[in-house]
A and B are shown apart, each in its own frame.
Chain A
Amino acid sequence: MSVAFAWLSALLVPALLAMVTGFLLRRGLPSLQVALWFGDTPPLAALLHGAPVFDGIWPACLGTLYLVALVALMAVPLGVASGIFLAEYAGGRTKLAFSFCIELLAGIPSILMGLFGFALILFLRRSFAPEANTCLLLSAFCLTLLVLPYLISSTRLAIESLPDALRLTGASLGLSHWQLIRRILLPASAPGIFSGVILAIGRAAEDTAVILMTGVVANAGTPGSLTAKYEALPFHIYYLAAEYQSPAELAQAFATALVLLALTGLLLLAARRLQAGLEIK
């Protein structure tokens, strides 16, 4: 009887996957053309001369790209460094305390990260910077906090899973602790760390709740500066789904979803490839 239930559940998975992908393809594929990205503006003009794009998702693509780049810049060094610290330097109480904080951070819902960013702006307005406003930088900062736990955990896991023999070898060669980490452990755990970085980037690219609260808008053109509002792919989808004015706009939402799906799918594939490389070793 439980076997029958297991079969049923197992069949459900590919069915759901097929339904979702099929639905998206059916509704979105027709709109997957150059016009999706650039609207009426000629692509080259938009790309090279910065001609404004009104009806396309290019600004949103750029927004997501900038966002992800900023997050990577902030989160990766911080996360990897913290992960190394926890794996190699922290002991006893420190380790426990930090682990607890990071686990807590991991469990905090994304909307609260957004609320935090929002609160930060309110606070700044009341005190140091009355001109402060939600913007690209703020979103990147909050997204950094969101993905930090993943980065720290995957880095820590990658390093801790290395065989002890590796450490003993390094020590017996007379390497200092930091040299051991830099020359032996980090290169050896690089695939695992990279795959964690890629997954974190994917998470940052697809998040909607945080950016909702910290500066994303439906129409801002290509991101002008760090302190400006911006557009992003996930929000574009949400916005169109809630406020579409015509079937064409709805179709655009589905096409955008396909683009986003392709992006996260690719990132997942890259992460798995790296991880497989690690496992073979």
Chain B
Amino acid sequence: MAARLLYCAAAVSALAVLAILAFLVYFSLPLFQGDQLAALFSWHWRPLQNEFGILPMIAASLALAVSSMLVAYPLALGVCCFAHGLGPDWAARPLLVAVRLMSSVPTVVYGLVAAFSLVPLIRGASSGSGLCWLAALLTLAVLALPTIVLLLDNQFQRLESEIRLTAAALGLTRVQEMLQLTLPLSSRGLVMAAILGFGRALGDTLVPLMLAGNAPQPPLSLLDPMRTLTAHIALVVATDSQSAAYNSLFACGLILFLLTVLVNLGLRRIRTGATAHG
């Protein structure tokens, strides 16, 4: 009896995913039926002129996610290596505590701080308003850093428990152990952390909304404002516009959902690859 109840509970969660997908598809259907689909895939978003191209937003989302990962990932790797041998032993624990504290800061707070410290800085050093790709990129990197560090830390800890004493007994320094053993042997975990971080960056709303300027144009320069899919959804909903804009909203949602699924499948690929060889 208990088993049945529990089964139902789990089923709800599974159904939730399907429901979300179903709604997104249902509300995007009008687009597929008309000839509006082609119109969606244009580089111009001008609702007043009936142009609902969302390509700039797709490009912006991808560009922001990739660029923030390029900043966050190496730093996270550095931090984690430091905590696992490249730095002094006493420093590892306080560092990880600091990282956990960083991860507890809400996104909106990071956005707030960046809006009034980073953005004026960029504004002063350039000709724009400061609300741009760069501001969002750096803040997103700071946001993603702790998550990636904790993921990598988990990975390293598991491996270390196996090989620490062996490596020490062979006369390897901790640096040698990290660079020659731990890193190469963790390659799958390293890739997974990168993919997870990318997914996280792709799905964030507040940072691009508050810091990227929200101009629906293709991202050509770091100092230009951009609008991501996530910010676009939040903005269009807030402004009470007509149905056509609404439908494009769900198309955005659908694309975001598909990207999420791709990221997820990529992760599974890597993970099952790992268990096959490991």
Contacts and interface: CB of A to CB of B under 8 A. Distances in A.
Direct contact of A and B (CB under 8 A): yes
Interface of A: 2-3, 5-10, 12-14, 16-17, 19-20, 23-24, 27, 77-79, 81-82, 84-86, 89-90, 97-98, 100-105, 107-116, 118-120, 122-123, 145, 148-149, 152, 177-178, 181, 202, 206, 208-209, 212-213, 234, 237-238, 241-242, 250, 253-254, 257, 260-261, 264-265, 267-268, 272
Given A122-B27, A206-B106, A208-B107, A7 B203 contact: no
Nearest to B81: A6
A106 to B, nearest CB: 9
Contacts of A12: 75, 79
A188 B142 CA distance: 36
Contacts of B179: 2
Contact of B91 (A10, A27, A100): A10
Contacts, number: 237
A111 B205 contact: yes
Given A23-B113, A234-B106, A238-B108, A6 B199 contact: no
A81 B199 contact: no
Interface residues of B, number: 80
B108 A109 contact: no
A9 B99 CA distance: 12
Nearest to B109: A257
A214 to B, nearest CB: 10
Interface in B184-206: 199, 202-206
20 contacts: A5-B78, A7-B87, A81-B6, A82-B9, A90-B10, A97-B14, A98-B14, A103-B264, A104-B260, A107-B199, A108-B17, A108-B260, A115-B253, A116-B20, A206-B108, A238-B112, A238-B209, A241-B210, A250-B116, A260-B108
B78 A8 contact: yes
B258 to A, nearest CB: 11
B98 interface: yes
